[in-house]
Amino acid sequence: MSVGMSLAMKAKQPKQKRCDRCDLYYPVTLDECDHCSQLNDSQLAEFKAQHQETLQGNSTFGKYLLFGSVIIGLLLLLSFL
């Protein structure tokens, strides 16, 4: 990627700041976080728990993907024998 292109992309992206409540990023143009400003404390706890589950789910999916590619690799190897 050229320097000019990355500069252009930086200029295009809106500035974001990290929310102290939910740890997600939101545009600085907003006065309050658009992820959690509507939530009360118990809803926020639930929201964060769900967010955590999503992250863990993704890593499990990654493991399955790796496992699947190993199996496919073995099958390919066997078909050559």
- How far, in Å, are 13, 17, 51, 74 from residue 22 at the CA level? 21, 12, 9, 43
Radius of gyration, alpha carbons of the chain: 21
For residue 49, the number of C-alpha atoms closer than 13 Å in the C-beta half-sphere is: 6
35 versus 71: smaller Cβ distance to Zn ion? 35
Site for Zn ion in 22-81 (CB under 5 A): 22, 33, 35-36
Rounded to an integer, what distance in angstroms lies between the CA atom of residue 48 and that of residue 24?
A: 10
Q: How far is the CB of 15 from Zn ion (least distance, A)?
A: 16
State the binding string over 3-22 for Zn ion (x if CB under 5 A, else -). ----------------x-xx
38 versus 69: smaller Cβ distance to Zn ion? 38
Q: What is the DSSP letter of 51?
A: H
45 versus 72: smaller Cβ distance to Zn ion? 45
The residues of the shown chain that bind Zn ion, judged by CB under 5 A, are 19, 21-22, 33, 35-36
